[in-house]
């Protein structure tokens, strides 16, 4: 059966990506800054971000396609950035 997903709002921005909504429980401001550091300063790919965050946070994202995109989108929402990925899914 399908599971109904509740709407998620971060800093007044509605998140519609189902994977991002599922992964939101792992995100906080400190982790958002970490993801931004990996994305911007270290120029990690989405796959590398997924692997590094899973290792650092002791989580298993199961190699899910799109997990890195979702983590970056969540981080941008937490940090108040205007990143359109979450608005396009």
**8-10 and 13-15: which strand pairing?**
antiparallel
Confidence band of 6 (pLDDT split at 50, 70, 90): low
Is it the case that residue 71 has pLDDT exceeding 60?
yes
pLDDT at 5: 59
Q: For the residues 21-43, what does the mean pLDDT come to?
A: 92
pTM of the model: 0.79
Is it the case that residue 89 has pLDDT exceeding 50?
no
Cβ neighbours for 50, distance < 8 A, ≥ 6 positions apart:
61, 63, 64, 67, 68, 71
């Amino acid at each position: 059966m399908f599971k109904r997903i509740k709407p998620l709002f971060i800093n007044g921005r509605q998140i519609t990506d189902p994977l991002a909504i599922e992964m939101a429980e792992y995100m906080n401001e400190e982790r958002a800054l970490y993801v931004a550091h990996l994305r911007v300063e270290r120029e990690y790919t989405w796959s590398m971000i997924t692997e590094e965050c899973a290792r650092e946070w002791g989580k298993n994202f199961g190699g899910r396609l799109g997990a890195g995109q979702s983590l970056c989108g969540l981080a941008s929402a937490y940090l108040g950035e205007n990143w359109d990925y979450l608005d396009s899914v």
